[in-house]
Amino acid sequence: MCGRFTHHLPWSEIHRLYRLTLDKDRGRNTQPRYNIAPTQSVLFVHHDKEGNQVVDEGRWWLVPHWAKEMPKATLFNARSETAPTTPAFRDAFKARRCLIPADGFYEWTVSREDGKKDPWYIFQPGGAPFSFAGLWAHNDKLGVTSCTILTAGAEEPMRQLHDRQPVILDPAFYDEWLSAETPVPQATELLKHHLDGQLQFHRVCRDVNSSKFQDAMAINPL
């Protein structure tokens, strides 16, 4: 799963990751964020009607376009195996796929010594930026734009920490994933093109267990 992640990328890195050409996506910047939690606002990239990659902002906890109230179900992650057919996600999986920029995320294990949760910071080699495969939605009735992160069964080395992990998509498949013209079966296959096997991790301080902790030292190894 993915319950927290980090994003401290300068805007130049966002431009390097994505094919951003619109004037509104130039000259922006973002504050470093070291402990992003569900329901908070995050950046995500999707295609506009002309097929351009554009940056948007939304709530990290999907609100389906048909919802009449804010969902109580846990919709900040979507299982890639069932998202194409699950009512909360299937419309978004068909036509509103997105990428969520990040440079790390957290997972927890239970300490054998005191039974408390130990946080681990997971990242790509060299701290390289990457994109979670995601879905997005806009709900006119509630006035909410939102997104969710797709997950899959964990592989090594993440399997040492948890049985699920977020899908980190290979950049070669960004445009194909984002395109509304990519049919659902093909989009499902694209999720197999991921970078999850490259992940590294180290223990970090338990202060991270509170989403209020936003210090840069959150990602430092113990």
Please state, as a whole number, how many other Cβ atoms lie within 10 Å of the Cβ of residue 202.
12
Neighbours of 105 (CB within 10 A): 25
Residue 95: how many CB atoms within 10 A of its CB? 14
The SS3 call for residue 120 is: strand
Q: Which of 50, 69, 107, 189 is catalytic?
A: 107
Catalytic residue among 2, 81, 147, 189: 2
107 an active-site residue?
yes
What whole-number distance in Å separates Cα of residue 59 and Cα of residue 38?
A: 8
Say whether 147 is catalytic.
Answer: no
CB 128 within 8 A of CB 103: yes
Catalytic residue numbers read 2, 107
